[in-house]
Amino acid sequence: MHALETRQLTLSYGERNIIESLDLTIPRGKITVFIGSNGCGKSTLLRSLARLLKPKEGAILLDGEAIAKRPTKEVAKRLAILPQGPVAPEGLTVLQLVKQGRYPHQSWLQQWSEEDEKMVVKALEATQLTALADRAVDSLSGGQRQRAWIAMTLAQGTETILLDEPTTYLDMSHQIEILDLLYDLNQTEQRTIVMVLHDLNLACRYAHHIVAVHNQSVFAEGNPHDVMNEELVRHVFQMECQITRDPIYDTPMCIPFSKSRLGAGATAGSSGANAEKEEQKIAVHA
């Protein structure tokens, strides 16, 4: 069974449809990455999967059952979402933030339990924040802060974690740090991870499954090796590029052409067949 599934899903803001009649499946135990240009609806789609946005039509199935029909607290025990750019209240400590992850497991009758404590300790360890537990979240660096938020979603103890642009505003080393953490979680605990990323090369490096959102629908989906090509980038991003291989991981890598910097960079930087190919392309699209 798929972790998440949409059936004839239509999402809209007011009159404008963002996604139309979409059938999509999210594979269980894999890392799925949504890519697409700004405003294409990939974040909206992710938010709807986490029931933060009510569909106009269609349904979303979590483990085969309609998400809208289940009590929201029950959903929160199976699916966690880290929204884009969350802000912690001033002075909230890392520990207090991570403890919030246990919210769906508590009630007025069922207060803090041993299980809660155990999950929080584990989440802090997994994100290497144990030493920073008593620090205020707003005093941390961007990367540490994002790790604290991820720790909160880990404490929730869900099989599926959705993350909306978890690396935005982070420098390159922190981006890698966050993605490595998520990759580890997937590999060691088989958690299903679904996220929106802007960096195509990192998306290709870390994703098992890529979903390219374009024109109110999905343009292509599948393994990065199979779906990532020049045509996809041209369609989805309206940009010319060359796809090569990541020299370290052999995953697809997208090198964009610049519109204003013709010739010079292309010939000086590359060699042989590549340069020739590029020149042909520029000629075609000039």
Partner 1 sequence: MKALLSNTYLKILGVGFFLLLLAYLSYASLVFGIVETSWHTAIDAFTQFNGTNEHIVIKEVRVPRVLNALAVGMCLGIAGTLLQALTRNPIADVELFGLNAGAAFFVVVAITFFGISSLTQFTWIAFLGSAVSGVVVYLLGSLGRDGMTPVKLTLAGAAITALAASARHGMMVLNEKSVDEVLFWLSGSVGGRKLEFLTAVFPYMIVAWIIAFLLARPIQTLLMGDDVAKGLGQRTMMVKLAAGATIVLLSGSSVAVAGPIGFVGLVTPHLARFLVGIETRWVMLYSGLLGAALLLAADIGARFVAKPAEVPIGVMTALIGIPFFIYVARKGLDKG
Positions touching partner 1 (CB under 8 A) are: 13-14, 47, 50-52, 71-77, 80-83, 86-92, 96-97, 100-101, 103-104, 106, 108, 156
CA-nearest of 160, 236, 150, 164 to 200 is 236
Alpha-carbon span 183 to 100, nearest angstrom: 23
Comparing CA positions, the residue from 20, 15, 8, 33 lying closest to residue 221 is 33
Q: Which is nearer to partner 1, 48 or 251 (CB)?
A: 48
Is the CB of 116 or the CB of 278 nearer to partner 1?
116
CA dihedral of 248, 250, 254, 255, whole degrees rounded to 10? 50
Q: Which residues contact 72 (CB under 8 A, 6 or more apart)?
A: 51
Our CB check for partner 1 shows the closer of 149 and 237 to be 149
Of the two residues 102 and 205, which places its CB atom closer to partner 1 in the complex? 102
Of 18 and 241, the one with the shorter C-beta distance to partner 1 is 18
d(CA 81, CA 60): 15
Angstrom distances, CA of residue 22 to CA of 3, 7, 75, 232, 270: 16, 6, 22, 19, 41
At its nearest, how many Å lie between partner 1 and the CB of residue 125? 21
| Beta carbon of residue 97, minimum distance to partner 1 (angstroms, whole number) | 8
Of 106 and 274, the one with the shorter C-beta distance to partner 1 is: 106
Is 269 in a helix, a strand, or coil?
A: helix
In whole angstroms, the minimum distance from the beta carbon of 89 to partner 1 comes to 5
Residue 91 CA to its chain's centroid (Å): 28
Taking the complex as a whole, how short is the minimal distance between the CB of residue 50 and partner 1, in angstroms? Answer: 6
Shortest distance in whole angstroms from residue 103 CB to partner 1:
4
Separation CA 270–CA 3 (nearest Å): 43
Q: Helices (H), strands (E): how many in the chain?
A: 11, 12
CB of 224 to partner 1, least distance (A): 27
